[in-house]
């Protein structure tokens, strides 16, 4: 868990020392304290964040957008990274979330047959790896490594405090390259709409990255079949194009529900 209380205490201690003459040992101590203040995550997940450009750089960003090509056509997702408002534009419908209200706007009489509550934020979450695991209300634990095709990947188990997100019983596992720190695999459970957690982990492979605005983010991801909670063979690939990651703040109006749209409860 994030050591917020410890961070506050150390900040107070450092502030109290500012007016005193600085001896060499004092300077060294303050540097050590500053390192503790900025390292509010466990060492393993910090290594992963740093390999992808660091969490501080991610937190500077306000806007993310990307496009996926599906059998039904192109699907563009635009996300406000601070409020988590979202707009998903497809050839047959638009799905929006303004931070409070989820809505669907069907196009040309096409009946929407999906699950908007489940899909809200779903692809953003998969795309925003590993930085979405810097959110509040998350716990980190070491977990057994993943061995795939003779290579061993250290693992981190991610879980959520009760009431965090749409499905706080969901669990995730990050598996990363021990040398580079780059994320290589994601294991995840699906508990949406279920009364309790699931023991079954699905798997996505992350091994095709691109650098945008100083951050190493996916260029494509591969879904794998799985058996006994380990990946087996690749099932399909999702590619991401027209990626924008920016400090620009979007107009909130773009996420507002248009006339004729349907509110999703």
Residue for token pair 């692809």? 123
pLDDT band of 180, cuts 50, 70, 90: very high
What is the value of pTM for the model shown? 0.81
Q: Which pLDDT score is estimated for 108?
A: 83
What is the predicted pLDDT for the residue at 109?
A: 73
Token pair of 7 as six digits: 């961070």
The per-residue pLDDT for range 47-89, each reduced to its tens digit, is 999 999 999 999 999 999 999 998 889 999 999 999 999 999 9
Coil, strand, or helix at residue 143?
strand
Residues contacting residue 86 through CB under 8 Å, at least 6 positions apart: 77, 78, 79, 80, 95, 96, 97, 120, 121, 124, 255
Non-local (6+) Cβ contacts of 76 within 8 A are 65, 66, 67, 88, 89, 90, 242
d(CA 192, CA 124): 16
Q: Residues in the chain, how many?
A: 265
Q: In what order do the strands lie in the sheet with 93-97?
A: 241-246, 63-70, 73-80, 86-89, 93-97, 102-106, 262-264
pLDDT tens for each residue of 124-168 = 999 999 999 999 889 999 999 999 999 999 999 999 876 555 545
DSSP 134: G
**Which has the closest alpha carbon to 175: 197, 205, 211, 133?**
205
User: Cα separations (Å) of 209 from 127, 217, 230?
Assistant: 11, 6, 23
Residue with tokens 């959110």: 135
pLDDT at 196: 59
Contact 129, 220 (CB under 8 A): no
Kindly state the helix (H) or strand (E) to which residue 262 belongs, with its residue range.
strand 262-264
pLDDT of residue 4: 33
CA 202/CA 221 separation, integer angstroms: 13
The sign of the torsion formed by the CA atoms of 163, 165, 168, 171 equals: negative
Residue predicted with more confidence, 35 or 253: 253
DSSP 125: H
């Amino acid at each position: 868990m994030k050591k917020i209380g410890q961070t506050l205490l150390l900040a107070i201690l450092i502030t109290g020392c500012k007016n005193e003459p600085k001896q060499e040992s004092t300077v060294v101590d303050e540097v050590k304290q500053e390192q503790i203040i900025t390292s509010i995550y466990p060492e393993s997940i910090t290594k992963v964040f740093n390999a992808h450009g660091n969490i501080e750089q991610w937190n500077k960003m306000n806007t993310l957008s990307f496009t996926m090509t599906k059998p039904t056509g192109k699907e563009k997702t635009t996300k406000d990274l601070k409020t988590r408002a979202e707009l998903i534009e497809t050839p047959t419908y638009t799905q929006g979330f303004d931070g409070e209200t989820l809505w669907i706007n069907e196009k040309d009489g096409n009946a929407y047959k999906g699950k908007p509550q489940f899909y809200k934020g779903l692809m953003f979450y998969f795309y925003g790896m590993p930085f979405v695991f810097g959110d509040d209300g998350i716990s980190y634990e070491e977990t057994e490594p993943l061995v795939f095709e003779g290579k061993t990947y250290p693992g981190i188990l991610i879980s959520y405090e009760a009431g965090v997100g749409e499905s706080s019983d969901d669990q995730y596992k990050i598996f990363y390259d021990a040398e580079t720190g780059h994320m290589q695999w994601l294991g995840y459970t699906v508990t949406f709409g279920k009364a309790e957690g699931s023991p079954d982990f699905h798997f996505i492979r992350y091994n095709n990255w691109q650098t945008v605005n100083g951050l190493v983010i996916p260029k494509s991801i591969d879904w794998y079949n799985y058996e006994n909670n380990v990946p087996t063979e690749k099932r399909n690939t999702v590619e991401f194009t027209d990626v924008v990651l920016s400090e620009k703040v979007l107009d909130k109006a773009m996420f507002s529900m248009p006339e004729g749209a349907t509110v999703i409860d």
